[in-house]
Amino acid sequence: MSLKDKLTEKQITRRSFMKWAGALSTTAALFGCGGSGGPDEYGSVVTNQDSFEFDNELTAVMGTHPHNCGGRCPFKFYVKDFGTPKAKIVKLTSAGDIPREDSLDKDESIEFVQTRACVRGYAQIKRTYSPDRLKYPLVQTKERGDVTGFKRVTWDEALERVADMISEVHSRYATGELPYVPMVAGPPNGLHNTMMFAGMPFMGFAEGAGSALSQYLGPTILPTGAPSFENMLFASVGSVGLLPGLAGGNSVYNYKHSDFIIQWGADPAVKEPNKTFFLTKAKEAGVPIVTIDAQYTDTASILSTGFPEYDLPQFIQVRPQTDSAIAVAMAYIIYKNGWHNDDFIKTNCFGFYPTQDAGNDSAGNPFPFVEAPKHPGYVMHKLDFSFTKQLNNNQHPLADANLYNQEIHVPTGMSFVEYLDKLGVDKAVELGIPDNQDAVVTWASQLSGVEKTTIINLADAFAHAGDVFLENGNNGGQKTNNGMHNVWMMICLAAMCGHTIKKGGNLGVNSSDGESNPVTFPGGIMYPQLGKGTTYPFIAVDANKFVDLVITGRDGRNKEQFYKDVKYVSEVDLGSPETAKLEVDMVLGSYHITNSFNTCPNTNKAVNIFTQKEGSHYKIKHYVMYEQFMTPTAAYADVILPACSHHEKPFFTSGEATYFQNKLVEPMYDTRSDVDIDIELAKKLSAKGIPISYGKDGKTDEELCKEAWETAEVPADIEKPTFEKVKITGKIQKEIDTDNIPNPMEVLMNYLPYTTETGKIQFFSPFYYYRDKCDLSTQEGAYRIEPRAMYVEPYQGYDKIMKKENTGVKGIEYTMQFTTKHARNRAHTVYDNVSVIRDKFDYPKRAIMNPSDAYKRGIKDGDEVYIFNDWGCIKVGVGISPTINEGVVSLPHGVWYRKGSETYEAWYDIDLGNSVETKTVETVDYYKHIVHVDIGGCENTLTHDKDFGSPKDPLCGQVGDNHFNGNLCEVSKVHPDRR
């Protein structure tokens, strides 16, 4: 018998079959209880339980796993009664590998990207058939957050109620009372017209936000900010501009051409498993790989090798938020020892050397004088993705044509070498160390917890190993309060040694992996436009300051910034800087991918603001969700419109290939696709005097996908498959000549004159410096953030512990930091309710701490502990492991918030309207609010929402800020308010 025969489904063993059949019976029983169909509908997957015959009538149908890990693994789904109303997904197999018959020859080839599906993808049927799927439209009949108050209603009743709510808030705009609709409802999400289920540009409160209809209502409010990469985006804007493809990271195909790979704050083995195959190949080729992170990761464990020639270990453990201090120390060593690539810097970089009033360094040597570039004029196109729309000088500080040909200087003292030199002098004085370099390295070592020799060896290897692929991932240092400057430092570090454009080098950001995808959809992967009529701009606000926006009308920007941004970028005149405020009467959310109470910083503030009442109504009067599950966020909605899953409609998505998800089953229970919900809602609104034309013109979703495919383009040397073929293969991918993939930055360097003010890689950003007051004649700016690469002390971090400034408003000394690593079993918050993988990976031990910290607190493995700070408190089981640094507690990312019965005294620097006590600490007023202990373990219960670290500028594409790793906290076995 051949291997192939052995592997056919008919040869399934009795043991594995019984396991499989048992699981299906359980599922069938669950659906019999909760679904619209009874046991008969779902119980007939196995034809005869006694004969052990596998059902050969299953149809294999191609699809994908589009939840946002970064990959889009293709899957083959086996569907019973495919194409009928009774269709049911029975099983699935990963379809990312090469065909089995070719496996001996090609299984190790990287010519075709071979995605390796992970547990999340394999669990997707469990999610779709999860017993807690939302099955019917629901309205809340009790208080928000009380899930016992939800009552089933018909679609007609639910949509009528939602249309009434929208009409009410819309009337304030229609009558001229407000120049905007006081409603949060962003652009359509992936189930509407981008057909990309995950990876939306707008996250936080607006991930996949809102109904597609909102753009036809009038200017509505769009909270922006992408927690996964917003610091990378802001750093890119400052250094290289918004390059096509966001940042220009080198291809994963070029890992193997590298001489040294650094995975810094990146854990692709968990976060982006689609990249691990390429790292494995690099490892097999002998490329040294070192991982730097706050927590021992799977990448460190299975992919890293260390670099013996430079005495570097597999894994360098750094304290949260201190990564950029190490990068600064490396830059200092490299510069002071002359290891930098001066030619590359002088040809391609701006802001490294002074351009104005160059003084002497600490050794008395004059800085080399570098001529200031003329203003190239191209900045008129900056930040416009198409490079065609001209910004006016209200929109961009340097867009005034009169400024053309003027010189742009690095203001005195603001160049990178002046920063390094001053740092050396300051640290020598501060630490009493005579040698400046030793002082800088000592500072970085004390702060980060990394040995001095390791930092020196790292700098040595970085400068001398050859092509260095510095990958700065979506985890770690990027997702912190000083993450923007962390990424900026990485970009500058790479530029100092010219690694930016080397074949095996990297810009210093995340790697790219789309070279094997030959398909482009002009304008993005789009459904044909379903709506007709006038569309309006959105008013971009900081998603992370949403609560403050509701309370104060602004999101942390000052009056002038807020007024000007809204007027000139969003084209809505709020009157004057004094009066510029936004009101929020309604939130219309369509989340699917995540849930905002979990995603936004300071979860307790969000819960407060949605449950707070003013008289007989809530402060935010109406809250409507399109959802699939009773997430912590959905639980606080007034109306829930149940949406179908990605298995219940067709769509395209893209990654290493372009993938097509066939519709596998009909929308289950009484659910509908977002598009179909919007079409019905549009009819209701039209009947109420808000005419919105929105519909499919009688076409099916598949027919619309076919229309979209007809617009797709492939290169001339590739035959474009028919839509019918795409449905069968499920993916369109091209073979790669793996030795001849250019580093994208080789090409993107040519874009710099269009994307930066200086046409160079910027260590100093004129855009950030001159943003609010352009004055080239005096070379003065009014910057919103530090406009150069440097170490920025975070609002909360180990600096505060070292300086003994770690006592909070509650009077408690917070001696620990927490870090929020991606989990194997979740894509952000998705899958936390899917018990089959949740229980396997991180339940009930949701937190992990170091044995030493546990011992000091009398904590044993498996104990339930309180983890808390001024903003909140969680109570979870804790595991004890030396993989966590002393002083750090790990809270895996994406755990769902669950309101416990115990309460906790939280303190904020804003009165939400229902504080119970106030006090002043160092001139700042603080307000006590009673919150609930979170017994889920949501990391954002403990994250702050202070303004810090980002430019909060809609001209950067979003206004967000990022706070997730490194905040201070404390751990106790006893309730902190009762200690």
Question: Nearest distance from residue 191's CB to ligand SF4, in Å?
Answer: 17
Closest to ligand SF4 by CB, 65 or 592: 65
Question: Nearest distance from residue 673's CB to ligand SF4, in Å?
Answer: 21
Query: What backbone torsions phi and psi does residue 963 show, to the nearest 5 degrees?
Result: -140, 10
Distance, in Å, from the CA atom of 826 to the CA atom of 589, rounded to the nearest integer, reads 21
What length is written for the chain? 979
Distance, in Å, from the CA atom of 812 to the CA atom of 592, rounded to the nearest integer, reads 38
Distance, in Å, from the CA atom of 533 to the CA atom of 539, rounded to the nearest integer, reads 19
Q: Does residue number 65 form part of the binding site for ligand SF4 (CB under 6 A)?
A: yes
Distance, in Å, from the CA atom of 372 to the CA atom of 352, rounded to the nearest integer, reads 11
Question: Nearest distance from residue 298's CB to ligand SF4, in Å?
Answer: 12
Question: Nearest distance from residue 595's CB to ligand SF4, in Å?
Answer: 18
Burial class (CB in 10 A: 0-12, 13-18, 19+), 882: exposed
Q: Does residue number 273 form part of the binding site for ligand SF4 (CB under 6 A)?
A: yes
Q: Tell me the window of 31-39, 61-69, 229-237, 948-956 that interacts with ligand SF4 (CB under 6 A).
A: 61-69
Q: How far apart are the first and last CA of the chain?
A: 69
Closest to ligand SF4 by CB, 124 or 598: 124
Q: Does residue number 274 form part of the binding site for ligand SF4 (CB under 6 A)?
A: yes
Closest to ligand SF4 by CB, 163 or 657: 657
Closest to ligand SF4 by CB, 115 or 317: 115
Q: If DSSP codes are grouped into helix, strand and coil, which group holds residue 706? A: helix
Q: Tell me the window of 69-77, 578-586, 736-744, 838-846 that interacts with ligand SF4 (CB under 6 A).
A: 69-77
Q: Tell me the window of 64-72, 539-547, 835-843, 847-855 that interacts with ligand SF4 (CB under 6 A).
A: 64-72
Q: Does residue number 118 form part of the binding site for ligand SF4 (CB under 6 A)?
A: yes
Q: Please list the residues that pair with 878 across neighbouring strands.
A: 847
Closest to ligand SF4 by CB, 118 or 181: 118
Instruction: Please pick, from the candidates 120, 133, 340, 382, the single residue that binds ligand SF4 as defined by CB under 6 A.
Output: 120
Q: Tell me the window of 53-61, 111-119, 345-353, 918-926 that interacts with ligand SF4 (CB under 6 A).
A: 111-119
Q: Does residue number 117 form part of the binding site for ligand SF4 (CB under 6 A)?
A: yes
Q: Tell me the window of 39-47, 67-75, 208-216, 367-375 that interacts with ligand SF4 (CB under 6 A).
A: 67-75
Distance, in Å, from the CA atom of 938 to the CA atom of 872, rounded to the nearest integer, reads 10
Distance, in Å, from the CA atom of 531 to the CA atom of 699, rounded to the nearest integer, reads 14
Of the candidates 514, 473, 522, which has an alpha carbon nearest to the alpha carbon of residue 654? 514
Closest to ligand SF4 by CB, 663 or 828: 828
735, two tokens: 């073979």
Closest to ligand SF4 by CB, 269 or 587: 269
Question: Nearest distance from residue 68's CB to ligand SF4, in Å?
Answer: 8
User: Strand 693-694 to strand 531-532: parallel, antiparallel, or no bridges (unpaired)?
Assistant: antiparallel
Task: Extract the runs of DSSP E, i.e. beta strands, from 454-542.
Answer: 468-472, 531-532, 539-542
Question: Nearest distance from residue 198's CB to ligand SF4, in Å?
Answer: 9
Q: Does residue number 199 form part of the binding site for ligand SF4 (CB under 6 A)?
A: no
Closest to ligand SF4 by CB, 653 or 756: 653
Of the candidates 708, 569, 668, 602, which has an alpha carbon nearest to the alpha carbon of residue 931? 602
Q: What are the C-alpha distances in Å from 823 to residues 209, 336, 653?
A: 24, 40, 23
Question: Nearest distance from residue 510's CB to ligand SF4, in Å?
Answer: 15
**For residue 863, what are the contacts with CB-CB under 8 A and spacing of at least 6?**
877, 878, 973
Instruction: Please pick, from the candidates 24, 28, 69, 459, the single residue that binds ligand SF4 as defined by CB under 6 A.
Output: 69
Of the candidates 963, 972, 766, 773, which has an alpha carbon nearest to the alpha carbon of residue 874? 972
Q: Tell me the window of 116-124, 180-188, 294-302, 759-767 that interacts with ligand SF4 (CB under 6 A).
A: 116-124
Q: Does residue number 543 form part of the binding site for ligand SF4 (CB under 6 A)?
A: no
Q: Does residue number 90 form part of the binding site for ligand SF4 (CB under 6 A)?
A: no
Percent of the chain as helix, strand, coil, to the nearest 5: 35, 20, 50
Question: Nearest distance from residue 79's CB to ligand SF4, in Å?
Answer: 19
Question: Nearest distance from residue 793's CB to ligand SF4, in Å?
Answer: 35
Burial class (CB in 10 A: 0-12, 13-18, 19+), 148: exposed
Q: Tell me the window of 114-122, 406-414, 867-875, 918-926 that interacts with ligand SF4 (CB under 6 A).
A: 114-122
Q: Does residue number 731 form part of the binding site for ligand SF4 (CB under 6 A)?
A: no
What one-character-per-residue DSSP string does 125-169 give?
HHHHT-TTB--S-EEE-SSTT-GGGEEE--HHHHHHHHHHHHHHH
Distance, in Å, from the CA atom of 557 to the CA atom of 886, rounded to the nearest integer, reads 37
Distance, in Å, from the CA atom of 603 to the CA atom of 945, rounded to the nearest integer, reads 9
Q: Does residue number 243 form part of the binding site for ligand SF4 (CB under 6 A)?
A: no
Q: Does residue number 827 form part of the binding site for ligand SF4 (CB under 6 A)?
A: yes
Of the candidates 422, 8, 472, 515, which has an alpha carbon nearest to the alpha carbon of residue 266? 472
Closest to ligand SF4 by CB, 208 or 556: 208
Q: Does residue number 121 form part of the binding site for ligand SF4 (CB under 6 A)?
A: yes
Of the candidates 620, 825, 755, 903, which has an alpha carbon nearest to the alpha carbon of residue 120? 825
Q: Tell me the window of 68-76, 420-428, 794-802, 905-913 that interacts with ligand SF4 (CB under 6 A).
A: 68-76
Question: Nearest distance from residue 175's CB to ligand SF4, in Å?
Answer: 48
Closest to ligand SF4 by CB, 490 or 827: 827
Query: What backbone torsions phi and psi does residue 958 show, to the nearest 5 degrees?
Result: -160, 170
Name the residue with the smallest CB distance to ligand SF4.
Answer: 121
Question: Nearest distance from residue 136's CB to ligand SF4, in Å?
Answer: 29
Closest to ligand SF4 by CB, 191 or 942: 191
Q: Does residue number 71 form part of the binding site for ligand SF4 (CB under 6 A)?
A: yes
Q: If DSSP codes are grouped into helix, strand and coil, which group holds residue 299? A: helix
> How many angstroms separate the most distant Cα atoms in the chain?
90
Residue with token string 């702050």: 944
Distance, in Å, from the CA atom of 211 to the CA atom of 875, rounded to the nearest integer, reads 36
Question: Nearest distance from residue 121's CB to ligand SF4, in Å?
Answer: 2
**For residue 365, what are the contacts with CB-CB under 8 A and spacing of at least 6?**
none
Closest to ligand SF4 by CB, 117 or 370: 117
Q: Does residue number 566 form part of the binding site for ligand SF4 (CB under 6 A)?
A: no
Residue with token string 């260095």: 468
Of the candidates 317, 292, 480, 265, which has an alpha carbon nearest to the alpha carbon of residue 939? 480
Closest to ligand SF4 by CB, 595 or 653: 653
Q: Tell me the window of 110-118, 535-543, 602-610, 796-804 that interacts with ligand SF4 (CB under 6 A).
A: 110-118
501, two tokens: 């454009």
Q: Does residue number 92 form part of the binding site for ligand SF4 (CB under 6 A)?
A: no
626, two tokens: 């399109």
How many residues form the binding site for ligand SF4 (CB under 6 A)?
14
Interface residues toward ligand SF4, by CB under 6 A: 65, 67, 69, 71-73, 115, 117-118, 120-121, 273-274, 827
